[in-house]
Amino acid sequence: MCREREFFEETGAKASNIRLAYVQQATDAKTNVAGFLFVVSDMEGTPAVQGEGGWDSEWIDEFVWLGRGDLEDKRILPPFLIDRFFNDLETGFESPIYLPRFLEHPAGL
């Protein structure tokens, strides 16, 4: 499926049980960007920033597994997901959540 292929291309790891969690759009004077955030419950391998073929990623700085209490000193984008994600995770992401449209890129680009 497309989700599994994209996850592999971005991370170099294989995943299954991938669910679309959030859809996010950002618009500025020059661009319209759509972002898709997924939840993965089963994964083989170790994700790498470089992904498949060693390509450098434009967006991913680091992969880490963190709990809610570990996020205070981390840069999480978009920032409001720090609390929201864990609350939404408890409900199971039964359907994708459409986040408010941003007037600037959520990564500050």
- Structural domain span for residue 36: 2-95
Instruction: Evaluate if pTM is beyond 0.75.
Output: no
Within a domain: 57: yes
Q: If DSSP codes are grouped into helix, strand and coil, which group holds residue 71?
A: coil
C-alpha dist (Å) from residue 93 to 46, 50, 75: 24, 28, 23
Q: pLDDT (tens digit, 9 = 90+) per residue, 32-72?
A: 878 888 888 888 988 776 655 555 555 556 667 778 888 87
pLDDT at 61: 63
Within a domain: 107: no
Closest CA to 17 of 77, 82, 76, 93: 93
Within a domain: 43: yes
* Count of the separate structural domains present in the chain: 1
Within a domain: 103: no
- How many percent of the chain have pLDDT more than 70? 79
Residue type, 31: T
Which helix (DSSP H) or strand (DSSP E) does residue 88 occupy? Answer: helix 81-91
- How many percent of the chain have pLDDT more than 90? 1
- In the predicted model, is pLDDT for residue 97 greater than 80? yes
Within a domain: 51: yes
- Cα separation of 58 and 33, whole Å? 14
Average pLDDT across the chain, whole number: 77
